[in-house]
């Protein structure tokens, strides 16, 4: 009968250990794989930032194209005004003098040149903005290239 109690006690102890072990939470993700996942998230965030910068660059390049067209238009107007002023100056050499027309054409030529210069300044400023964005994209791409996820092989 003593042996029965010993076996019964052993069985009870074994069952209680099994029951307590079943209640323990065991993580399915190791710390190494958690680091790998965190590295992947960081890489995705860097990639997202690069893509956002590229979208912004495309918008700025579209603005550069608009300003380029405005610059060409302003240059054409300035050239036209300069030609008119030149023709009028040639008329002055012949003796046909009208001071109001001369002043008016000179003022138009001057205004056209100023507008052309302003358009060129805006165009150059926009190009600098695009170049700055490109440099930032290259910097972010280098940073993303340096972040290599740690790969851990567990056997």
Boundaries of every domain in the chain? 30-146
d(CA 78, CA 71): 10
Per residue in 28-75, pLDDT (tens digit) is: 666 667 787 888 888 888 889 999 999 999 999 999 999 999 999 999
Per residue in 6-19, pLDDT (tens digit) is: 877 788 777 776 65
Q: Which residues contact 7 (CB under 8 A, 6 or more apart)?
A: none
In this structure, what token pair is assigned to residue 35? Answer: 């680091």
């Amino acid at each position: 009968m003593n042996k029965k109690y010993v076996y019964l006690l052993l069985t009870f102890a074994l069952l209680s250990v099994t029951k307590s072990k079943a209640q323990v939470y065991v993580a399915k993700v190791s710390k190494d794989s958690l680091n790998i996942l965190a590295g992947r998230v960081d890489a995705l965030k860097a990639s997202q930032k690069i893509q956002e910068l590229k979208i912004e660059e495309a918008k700025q390049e579209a603005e550069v194209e608009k300003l380029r067209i405005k610059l060409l238009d302003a240059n054409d107007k300035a050239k036209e005004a300069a030609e008119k002023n030149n023709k009028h100056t040639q008329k002055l050499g012949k003796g046909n003098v009208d001071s109001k027309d001369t002043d008016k054409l000179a003022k138009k030529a001057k205004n056209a040149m100023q507008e052309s210069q302003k358009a060129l300044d805006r165009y150059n400023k926009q190009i600098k903005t695009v170049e700055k964005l490109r440099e930032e994209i290259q910097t972010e791409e280098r940073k993303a290239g340096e972040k290599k996820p740690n790969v851990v092989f567990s056997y």
